[in-house]
Amino acid sequence: MAKATSPDANAQSNEPALPIEPTLPNEPTLPEKPARPDRPTSFDIAYRAGVSQSTVSRALRDSPLVNKATRDRVQAIAKELNYKVDKVASNLRSQSTRTIALLLCEDPTSDDSMINPFFMSMLSSITRATARQGYDLLVSFQQLSEDWHADYEDTHRADGIILLGYGDYVSARPKLEKLKQAQARFMLWGPLIKDLPGHSIGCDNHLGGYVAGTHLLDSGRQQLAFLGDASQHCPEFRQRYLGYTDAITQRQLTFNPRLQYDAENTEMSGFDACLQLIDSGEPFDALMAASDLIAIGAIKAMQQRGLRVPEDVAVVGFDGIPSSAYVNPPLTTVMQDTQAAGDLLVDNLFKQFHGEPLTTTLLEPKLVVRESSGGTPDSSPQ
Partner DNA sequence: CTGAAAGCGCTTACAG
Q: From CA 137, how far away is CA 193, in angstroms rounded?
A: 27
Identity of the residue, 85 or 362, whose beta carbon is nearer to a copy of itself in the bound complex: 85
- Which sign, positive or negative, has the C-alpha torsion 248, 251, 256, 259? negative
Cβ 159 vs Cβ 150: under 8 Å:
no
Helix (H, G, I), strand (E, B) or coil at 368: strand
Identity of the residue, 84 or 258, whose beta carbon is nearer to a copy of itself in the bound complex: 84
Which residue type does 251 have?
A: R
User: Of 117, 144, 198, 217, which one interacts with a copy of itself (CB under 8 A)?
Assistant: 117
- Residue 151 binding result from a copy of itself, DNA, none, given CB thresholds of 5 to 8 Å by partner type: a copy of itself
- Which sign, positive or negative, has the C-alpha torsion 184, 101, 132, 77? positive
Identity of the residue, 32 or 112, whose beta carbon is nearer to DNA in the bound complex: 32
Binding mask 51-80 for DNA (x = CB under 7 A): xxxxx-xx-xx--xxxxxxxx---------
**24 counts as binding a copy of itself under rule CB under 8 A:** no
Stretch that binds DNA, among 91-99, 107-115, 172-180, 242-250 (CB under 7 A): 91-99
Check residue 323 and report its DSSP letter.
Answer: G
- If phi over 0 gives left and psi between -120 and 50 gives alpha, with beta otherwise, what is residue 21? beta
Binding mask 64-103 for a copy of itself (x = CB under 8 A): ------------------x-xxxxxx-xx----x-x----
Identity of the residue, 60 or 100, whose beta carbon is nearer to DNA in the bound complex: 60
- If phi over 0 gives left and psi between -120 and 50 gives alpha, with beta otherwise, what is residue 252? left
Identity of the residue, 20 or 182, whose beta carbon is nearer to a copy of itself in the bound complex: 182
Cβ 55 vs Cβ 46: under 8 Å:
yes
**251 counts as binding DNA under rule CB under 7 A:** no
Identity of the residue, 123 or 192, whose beta carbon is nearer to a copy of itself in the bound complex: 123
Which residue type does 321 have?
A: I
- If phi over 0 gives left and psi between -120 and 50 gives alpha, with beta otherwise, what is residue 291? beta
User: Of 27, 80, 93, 303, which one interacts with DNA (CB under 7 A)?
Assistant: 93
User: Of 20, 249, 326, 366, which one interacts with a copy of itself (CB under 8 A)?
Assistant: 326
Nearest distance from C-beta of residue 319 to DNA, angstroms: 42
Residues in CB range of 61: below 8 A, 6 or more apart? none
Q: What is the DSSP annotation of 252-290?
A: T----GGGEE---SSHHHHHHHHHHHHHT----SEEEES
- Footprint on this chain of DNA (rule: CB under 7 A): 3, 10, 13, 39, 41-43, 51-55, 57-58, 60-61, 64-71, 83, 85-86, 89-90, 92-95
- Footprint on this chain of a copy of itself (rule: CB under 8 A): 31-37, 39, 82, 84-89, 91-92, 97, 99, 113-115, 117, 120-121, 123-125, 127-128, 131, 136-141, 151, 154-157, 182-183, 267-268, 271, 296-297, 300, 322-323, 326-329, 338-339, 352-355, 382
